[in-house]
Amino acid sequence: MSDLSAFPITRKWPATHPDRIQLYSLPTPNGIKISVALEELGLPYEPHKVDFGSNDQMTPEFLSLNPNNKIPSIIDPDGPGGKPLPLFESGAILIYLAEKTGKLMPSDPARRYETIQWLMFQMGGIGPMFGQMGFFVKFAGKDVEDPRPRERYINESKRLLGVLNQRLEGRSWVMGDDYTIADIAIFPWVRTVTGFYEAGELVGIENFPNVTRVLDAFLARPAVVKGLTIPA
């Protein structure tokens, strides 16, 4: 049996199954990426809920794993060389899981880098911009009198959706016929715009038919249906 006692986070969230990947997360757009990927890959894992309502992410135990106090984070007891691997940042975790299993990433080197390119498009563009838009349309930012920040993030979100819509023209997924970690990174955020943020009308989601088409296909996948609710 794997020994994870060297990781302080396991004192707050004990590992019932220490031989499984330990997932510390919430079903947010970034958290969903990893639960969906794990479900798609069929890797055994043990989810732990990091409750922002009680500031779990600011506890010394959580910060010992991720000093940036963000979810998701993992510990893989069977990391490289058979040693436990702690990892944070959802994009890094997705790449690691794809490389660990040889799945959800093209084997051709050029297509592999193209997949990572679109993953970074989400990490550096869609995630931050959609998130800021959400702040100004759903959360405290909606009370800011100056309309310029709200307009900026709505317009930038529209631009990014346009880039994605163009990419998906004539393609089933971001990488064509191959369903990859790029899709798993991008579409939880698209879902949040039309769902939780209730911003579909603001961004004119009907103007991006390829995006909505692929979003529907993404949400119909059994692993996605399950991953959307983990951790409960």
Residue range 67-119, pLDDT digits in tens: 999 999 999 999 999 999 999 999 999 999 999 999 999 999 999 999 999 99
State how many domains the chain has. Answer: 2
By CB atoms closer than 10 A (0-12, 13-18, 19+), residue 110 is exposed
Q: What's the chain's average pLDDT?
A: 96
Asked if 79 and 130 sit in the same domain, the reply is no
Q: State the pLDDT confidence band at 142, using cuts at 50, 70 and 90.
A: confident
Residue range 33-53, pLDDT digits in tens: 999 999 999 999 999 999 999
Q: Is residue 14 classed as helix, strand or coil in its secondary structure? A: coil
The answer to whether residue 2 sits within a structural domain is: no
Domain-ending residue, one of 35, 67, 101? 101
Residue with tokens 């993030």: 153
User: Comparing 197 with 145, which gets the higher pLDDT?
Assistant: 197
Residue type, 63: L
Asked if 64 and 167 sit in the same domain, the reply is no
Angle between helices 109-121 and 90-101 (to 10 degrees): 160
| Host domain of residue 210 | 109-225
Percent of residues, the chain, with pLDDT higher than 70 = 100
Name the H helices within the chain: 9-12, 29-41, 60-65, 90-101, 109-121, 127-138, 148-167, 181-194, 200-203, 209-219, 222-227
Domain-ending residue, one of 37, 67, 101? 101
- Give me the pLDDT at residue 1, please: 55
